[in-house]
Structure 1
Amino acid sequence: MFRLNLKIALRNLWRNRGITSINVGGLAIALAAFILVILYFTYETSFDKTNPNYNNIYVVGRIEPDFKTNYTSPPFAKAIKQHLPEVENAGITKRGFFEFSMKNGKNTLFAKNFMQADYNAAKILDLKPTGGLEKPPGNVERLSYLSKENMRALFPDKTDNKPEIVGMGASNSGITSKINGSITNNLHSNITFDGISIGNEIGKGENYGYNNYTTYIQVKPGTDVANLEQKITDLYRKELLKGETDQKTIAEIKGVSTFLDPLANLHLRPKAGNDAPYKILIALSILGILILVIACINFTNLSIAQATKRAKEVGIKKVMGAYRFQLTAQFLVEIFIQCFVATILGLTLAELSLPYFNNLFQVNLSIWTTENDLCWQLPLILCVITLIAGTYPALVLSGFKPALVLKGNFSTSKQSSWLRNGLLVFQFSIAVIFIIGLFIINSQLKYMRSEDLGFTANQVVYIKNISMFNKPETFAPVRDKILKIPGIKSATVATDIPDGAEGGANGYTFEGVKSSLDFIDVDFDYFETLDIKLKEGRFFSKSFPADTTNGAVVNESTVAKYGMKNPVGKTIRGCNIDYKIVGVVKDFKAQGFESAVKPTIYSIKNPCGNYKTQIMVKIEGNKMSSALAALKAQWLQINPKDGEDFRYEFLDDLYGKLFKKQEQLQSVFFGAALLTIFIAVLGLFAFAKYITNGRIKEIAVRKILGASDIQIFSLINSSFFIMVLIANVISWPLAYVITKRWLETFAYRIDLPILPFISSALITILLTVITVSIQARKAVKANPVDALKYE
């Protein structure tokens, strides 16, 4: 019996190979997209899961009145471990703040991310040097390791794990460092590095004012995290209040709190950070599911539309004694065969599309590995889509009544007709949402690329550097040498460049009001190099020696935050210095478009600031190549510490990376819109063929009675036109809510336009008319005699 049913199934599929190809092809394309989404979702949600203490590790962060941050001070981890028994271990790490070179003969490595960690943090984060994690002995302050990849780059012929000596910085610097071995750098982790130094203790001598470390804690299983969070806040306030007598400061400390952020959150949605990756992942997952649902709907619709061709078969089998559940199982097997073929094709398409997908999302995914769980996910998906796409058609096909179908009544029920139409409307509703979303994403990205940033990144080159120029007199000779090169208009140095990276923050008091401000430590010509606009007052100038000791420039957001009136010449106090405000600059979007411009203070001297290492040079466009070549040739004389290691990036390229996530979303929506439209049109094409074939006699009669081709085209298109119009009306409110919510994630955004909604309606209606008309043309042009000669 099974062989007979299988033979019948294969014959039917072959006889209707056009519809079968559309069914299988549409499902295969949707499955390919869904497989890629599954791979990416699994990858993004499994960061750090190899850590055996994954569920019990938290980052301790601070909540100040104006901001939230993961950065804390070195003594805090020790205090937490000492006073809170729920905490099994506590440690700290610190990121490197500049790129430096390491040398072994002719082999050079540029370490962009050299991290420090104490021994406790290394244990918590499951860091694994080759040979095992060991505590630095008493006479050794730290043990340094390079990632295995970097160790191979510096020592390609190394076969043991013995320590090595490497040169640091320029070849003539004479500075060396001991590398104790290699360490696994887990790229599928939030804690990645080029190298790491592990010490018994880091941050010695630094108090609670040095908030530039990350504190990790490992709690005991079953700990009440909310209760522990409150205990840590109480402990933090207690530590800050030690020896404090000023009532105003005491009141401010009581307004500070802490939070615990699980290790599981850090990659996608950190409490103190940007959750755009999480939103992109959710959007991508929903798109993948919707595309698969649309394909299943397509499959269901076409299977129901083909039901009349199987009516006699069902009637005869029932007369011969077949039960309904047997027929249902038979049709489900047929559908399973199609879904199985679609899955194989989907895997093939996914494999072909994977290089482009990896390049778009900057990942290295692979289908043919046991780590991605596809080995059990795909069979499950196959069974699920078989049930979703096949259950209702199988019930419809097996439900024909023998007495009626054998008399020639092959029509399906009105409920089936309503279902087909409803599913078609649903398909086009989703397609319309994707089209509208794509238009609005394009509009926002166009706005971001064309809107005035408030500064000019073009023709500005960021030079990587390890020298520290905290005093203007140390950078002055470097600037003078740089400016002698033809084509270079200006040069400056600062603690930060406008590339979206977060700067430091500190408390500043203006006229009795204390608030937190971002601070950036700069040198002369900083504003001129970036072409930042002056609103009032002046920039820093060598003509005013006091600028190097207590001069400050603030931005418009700072003026608004304090409610300053005529701020130029007034005093603002921070880091035990009374700064005199010499100028106000217009706000500029250093953080991109998602975050509002932060109140910021710029100064040349800042005892609480960071090191000024970021060199920026503005070069004339037509002399860019020659100026860069001259800088490279003369860099050893210009900046001896860097020596021959001249490295640079264009500032506009760095700033452009802020748009990366939105460009990914744009690509995803473009692909999703094309896929949904393609699948919907495939279904519409086959559905229109079925409807048209069912009305051939009606069309013939109408032609005999004098109906024109235009009238018949209009008649056939009218029902589909109404369905697509209904789909637009249903989808517009949903699209409006979704796109409005997305736009609200930007501090600077376009107003929601009406044109995408109109365009989506025109596109879907035009596609529908063309698709249906192509199918209707054959019936319209047919000779009425051929359709009616047997009547």
Structure 2
Amino acid sequence: MLTNILKIALRSFWKTKGISIINVLGLSLGIALCLIIALFVRNELSYDKHFPNAERIYRVTSDIVFGGNAMNMTYAPAPMADALVEEIPEVEASVHFRNQGSFLIKRYEDNIKENKVIFAGKDFLKVFDIPLVQGNKKGALEEPNTMMISQTMADKFFKGENAVGQSLVLDNKTDYKITAVYEDIPENSHFDFHVLLAAEGLSEAKSGQWLGNNFQTYILAKPGADIKEMDQKIASMTEKHMTPVLKQVMGEDFTLEMFKASGNKVEYALQPLLDIHLHSDLLGEFKANFSITYVYLFVAIAVFILLIACINFMNLATAKSSNRAKEVGVRKSMGSDRKDLFFQFMMETFLMSLISFSMAIFIASILLPFFNDLAGRNLKLPFDEFGFYASLLLGAILVGFIAGIYPAFFLSGFKPVKVLKGDVSSGMKSARVRSSLVVFQFSISIILIFCTIVLFSQMNFIQNKNLGFNKDQIIMVHDLYALGSQKQTFKQEILGSSMIEKGTLSGFLPVSGTNRSDNPWWVMGRDIQDQENLVSIQNWQVDFDYVKTLGMKIVQGRDFSMDFPSDSSAVIINETAIKNFNFEGDPIGQKITTFSGNNVTGLNTDDLEVKTVIGVVENFHFESLKENIGAVMLFVDPNPSGIASFKFKAADVSEVLQLVEDKWKALAPGQPFTYEFLDDRFEAMYASETRIGKVFAAFTGFAIFIASLGLFALTAFTAEQRRKEIGIRKTLGATTANIVFLLSKEFTKLILFAFVIGAPLAWWGMKKWLEDYQYKIDLGWVIIFFAGAMVFLVSWITMGIQSLKAANANPVDSLRGE
């Protein structure tokens, strides 16, 4: 019986090989896209699951509102890690990290720059029990100036050697002894450091300062621990340690209730390790996370694409129904019942589904490298996993059932008397079903197009928005500390070139990833026990040429100048700071103050630092456009470490690079030359959104293509059902244009209906997405109209091709049997 079914299926396939090939290709493409999305989603859901006891690891997060600033961060005070173990019984172990940026590392002479370096507490391996390649876990990070390195770093410096016991030099000054080599942390981790330095040698890590937040802290909870109860204990613990310090400034009658009543708060909570990658977007993330919203979005796209492909399969099967109608009539007349025919057509569909899945694997293997490039991932088809093949077989059965159930019911339901007389159309009673399928397909297409347009419009808005500074044609040279005392010499020699307009040395630039700090300041003379007088403000080290080089605008007062020696104690603040300080009268010339040296341990009110406001700079963006502009203060450090930035003329970029590199190598031989362009660094802040936009656009294109195949099928179906009518109309003088309009108008109505359904849903969804941005585009009617116009254009081209074919057919062929 199965042999007979196979023969009939192959004969039917060959008889209508054109439509059958389109049928299989459309379904194969849809399955291939779903397979890629499934691999992507599986990868995103796997983050950090490789760590032993991952379900018991938590990160401490902070929610701080103070001095006009609101901060949701990954940071906690330095002493919190030890206090958690000592004071909360449910904590089995804890570790904290301190990220101080990149380091220069060498074994002998030449340095390499390594970005994935961090200071880690001594109990790192108790919390994150990663496998070691060399060395012992006990005491690995307990001594100052010791380090653990990854297998990759060991191969880089000690290929074929035992690295344990040997040393590397960091930043040309400090020897670190290697105590262990660990397996590379997998890519699907929210951190993947190659070098772990012992925080025991970091004086900041020994601090008892409870008002500073600079360390990322993790705990391993004991089995069965109640996390909500632990959060409450953490709140009590922080209140116990912070209140005495705050009382020194605020007065003995200070309480946290008073603090909160003023609109301030300092709260810490435990965040599950397994939630970080998909549910966290805090200040201080080790690397850019993804979002569970996007995961849901891609799952929805996969489902929609698969449904669209299955709908096409149904429509293409029924579009050529007349080719099987007489077969059904004859077989029913010979004694076959509907059950036998239904089984026959379902088995044919399962066969087509198996062929489609086989082709889908081939298509997916071709498309996967392009997807990896767009999405910034390294996905591979898991050919070595049994579950992969089992999933494919199960998927083939499921898709075969979904795609085949409707055509099987339809084809097996033909009335033998009517179809043998040539009346195929009366055998079909499901016009509403077909119409609903078309509406569904193109509603999804409109939603996808609209979302893609909004994504790219928002990214374009970000790239072209007035940021308050000039990010174009500025080259950033990192690691100025490698120049030693020759930083100013380097700057002046670069400025001596006619290609260079301006230059500055600074510790901070207005893009993510550069050094920053903030602390409370107040207008001199005001009562700091009144919490409303305290302003939390970013303070950045800059030189005299910072404002000019970045093209910032001074709106009050003046810029820094070497002609004024007093500028060493002067500051320039932004407009947000003016608002938060609430100066009385002209802010220029007024004095602001803070604790000397940013030392909040002890909070000695007799040891204060005083600065004079000499200028106000127009607000500029220094974080993602998802955030409001905070308060910023610039102060002069004539010789800051960090970054040298040069504004160059519209010349050959390669010549500028060569100039800067030559000067660097002359002054810092053997030190790596590391640079980037400010506009590239700015774009990197939105790399995740940009990648999502590109991936979304690609899948949208494929979805529209597959939907167009469905429309092609329905147009073919209509032409098939109305071929005699078309023949009569042409005989009576109807033109090709009349026939095309006749065949297309019904589907045009359906697509218009799809637009009415899809456009509001898309508008609502993207409005919710844009709520994450403080600065965003307006969702006007132009975008909605453009999305609809694109769908109408694609659909009319698709319908036009098939309609023209039907309109140009010889009417004699249609009426020959009459």
Name the TM-score, length of structure 2 as normaliser.
0.88
The 8 Å contact of residues 501 and 591 in structure 1, kept in 2 or not, is answered as no
- Corresponding residue to 1:259 among 265, 269, 279: 269
Tell me the amino acid that sits aligned with residue 513 of structure 2.
A
Tell me the amino acid that sits aligned with residue 602 of structure 1.
L
Deviation readout 1:319-372 (Å, 9 max, x if unpaired) = 555554443333222111111111121111111112211111222111145479
2:138 maps to 1:135: yes
2:520 maps to 1:507: yes
- Corresponding residue to 1:619 among 635, 648, 655: 648
**Cα pair distance change 1:789/1:241, threshold 3 Å:** closer
2:404 maps to 1:377: no
SS at match of 1:581: strand
**Cα pair distance change 1:772/1:624, threshold 3 Å:** closer
Deviation readout 1:592-621 (Å, 9 max, x if unpaired) = 433222222222379xxx984223233344
SS at match of 1:554: strand
Deviation of 1:628 (Å)? 4.3
SS at match of 1:452: coil
Deviation of 1:6 (Å)? 1.9
Q: Mapping of 1:281-320 within 5 angstroms?
A: 281-318=295-332
Query: Which residue does the alignment assign to 1:48?
Result: 48
Tell me the amino acid that sits aligned with residue 508 of structure 1.
W
**Cα pair distance change 1:435/1:87, threshold 3 Å:** same
Q: Tell me, in whole angstroms, the C-alpha distance in 1 between the residues paired with 2:79 and 2:385.
A: 40
SS at match of 1:131: strand
Tell me the amino acid that sits aligned with residue 150 of structure 2.
S
Query: Which residue does the alignment assign to 2:156?
Result: 153
Q: Tell me, in whole angstroms, the C-alpha distance in 1 between the residues paired with 2:138 and 2:564.
A: 53
**Cα pair distance change 1:240/1:319, threshold 3 Å:** same
2:430 maps to 1:431: no
Query: Which residue does the alignment assign to 1:732?
Result: 759
Deviates more, 1:657-666 or 1:287-296: 657-666
Query: Which residue does the alignment assign to 1:702?
Result: 729
Deviation of 1:114 (Å)? 1.3
The 8 Å contact of residues 511 and 622 in structure 2, kept in 1 or not, is answered as yes
Q: Mapping of 1:127-526 within 5 angstroms?
A: 127-131=130-134, 133-136=136-139, 140-156=143-159, 158-169=160-171, 176-186=175-185, 187-198=187-198, 203-242=205-244, 244-245=246-247, 246-247=250-251, 250-251=255-256, 255-270=265-280, 272-273=282-283, 277-318=291-332, 322=336, 324-370=338-384, 374-402=388-416, 405=419, 409-411=423-425, 415-465=429-479, 467=481, 479-480=491-492, 482-484=494-496, 487-501=499-513, 503-510=516-523, 511=526, 513-526=533-546
The 8 Å contact of residues 304 and 416 in structure 1, kept in 2 or not, is answered as no
Name the TM-score, length of structure 1 as normaliser.
0.90
Deviation readout 1:681-700 (Å, 9 max, x if unpaired) = 21222221221122121122
Q: Which runs of 5+ in 1 are unaligned?
A: none
The count of aligned residue pairs is 778
Deviation readout 1:497-546 (Å, 9 max, x if unpaired) = 22223743322334552233233232322212211111111222223333
Tell me the amino acid that sits aligned with residue 622 of structure 1.
A
Q: Tell me, in whole angstroms, the C-alpha distance in 1 between the residues paired with 2:503 and 2:808.
A: 76
Deviation readout 1:388-440 (Å, 9 max, x if unpaired) = 22222223333345565556554466652111111012111111222222333
Tell me the amino acid that sits aligned with residue 588 of structure 1.
F
The 8 Å contact of residues 39 and 365 in structure 1, kept in 2 or not, is answered as yes
The 8 Å contact of residues 318 and 717 in structure 2, kept in 1 or not, is answered as no
**Cα pair distance change 1:635/1:786, threshold 3 Å:** closer
Deviation of 1:304 (Å)? 3.3
2:712 maps to 1:685: yes
Deviation readout 1:655-700 (Å, 9 max, x if unpaired) = 1212322322332232123212211221222221221122121122
Query: Which residue does the alignment assign to 1:538?
Result: 558
**Cα pair distance change 1:765/1:462, threshold 3 Å:** closer
The 8 Å contact of residues 98 and 466 in structure 1, kept in 2 or not, is answered as no
Deviates more, 1:20-29 or 1:140-149: 140-149
The 8 Å contact of residues 106 and 112 in structure 2, kept in 1 or not, is answered as yes
Deviates more, 1:268-277 or 1:22-31: 268-277
Q: Tell me, in whole angstroms, the C-alpha distance in 2 between the residues paired with 1:678 and 1:88.
A: 55
Deviates more, 1:91-100 or 1:421-430: 91-100
Query: Which residue does the alignment assign to 2:744?
Result: 717
Q: Tell me, in whole angstroms, the C-alpha distance in 2 between the residues paired with 1:257 and 1:143.
A: 34
Query: Which residue does the alignment assign to 2:30?
Result: 30
The 8 Å contact of residues 519 and 601 in structure 1, kept in 2 or not, is answered as yes
Deviation of 1:374 (Å)? 3.2
- Corresponding residue to 1:109 among 97, 107, 112: 112
Deviation readout 1:277-304 (Å, 9 max, x if unpaired) = 4444433332222212211111122223
Q: Tell me, in whole angstroms, the C-alpha distance in 2 between the residues paired with 1:184 and 1:749.
A: 43
**Cα pair distance change 1:438/1:89, threshold 3 Å:** same
Between the aligned residues of both structures, percent identity stands at 30
Q: Tell me, in whole angstroms, the C-alpha distance in 1 between the residues paired with 2:404 and 2:310.
A: 9
2:71 maps to 1:67: yes
Query: Which residue does the alignment assign to 2:604?
Result: none
Deviation of 1:778 (Å)? 3.7
The 8 Å contact of residues 553 and 582 in structure 1, kept in 2 or not, is answered as yes
2:706 maps to 1:674: no
**Cα pair distance change 1:63/1:450, threshold 3 Å:** closer
2:150 maps to 1:123: no
Deviation readout 1:463-512 (Å, 9 max, x if unpaired) = 11152999xx9965664455445544443333322222374332233455
Deviation of 1:262 (Å)? 1.2
Tell me the amino acid that sits aligned with residue 397 of structure 2.
C
Deviates more, 1:560-569 or 1:739-748: 560-569
Query: Which residue does the alignment assign to 2:796?
Result: 769
- Corresponding residue to 1:584 among 611, 616, 621: 616
Deviation of 1:99 (Å)? 3.3
**Cα pair distance change 1:615/1:209, threshold 3 Å:** farther
Deviation of 1:243 (Å)? 5.3
**Cα pair distance change 1:626/1:377, threshold 3 Å:** same
**Cα pair distance change 1:784/1:595, threshold 3 Å:** same
The 8 Å contact of residues 280 and 661 in structure 1, kept in 2 or not, is answered as no
The 8 Å contact of residues 557 and 597 in structure 1, kept in 2 or not, is answered as yes
SS at match of 2:544: coil
Tell me the amino acid that sits aligned with residue 179 of structure 2.
N
2:582 maps to 1:560: no
Deviation of 1:547 (Å)? 2.9
Deviation of 1:59 (Å)? 0.6
Tell me the amino acid that sits aligned with residue 766 of structure 2.
T
Deviation of 1:630 (Å)? 4.4
Deviates more, 1:767-776 or 1:423-432: 767-776
Q: Tell me, in whole angstroms, the C-alpha distance in 2 between the residues paired with 1:699 and 1:629.
A: 72
Tell me the amino acid that sits aligned with residue 122 of structure 1.
L
**Cα pair distance change 1:365/1:138, threshold 3 Å:** closer
2:89 maps to 1:90: no
- Corresponding residue to 2:781 among 708, 730, 754: 754
Tell me the amino acid that sits aligned with residue 626 of structure 2.
E
Q: Which runs of 5+ in 2 are unaligned?
A: 527-531, 596-607
**Cα pair distance change 1:494/1:404, threshold 3 Å:** same
Tell me the amino acid that sits aligned with residue 241 of structure 1.
T
Q: Tell me, in whole angstroms, the C-alpha distance in 2 between the residues paired with 1:344 and 1:58.
A: 43
2:628 maps to 1:599: no
Q: Tell me, in whole angstroms, the C-alpha distance in 2 between the residues paired with 1:86 and 1:150.
A: 36
Tell me the amino acid that sits aligned with residue 761 of structure 1.
G
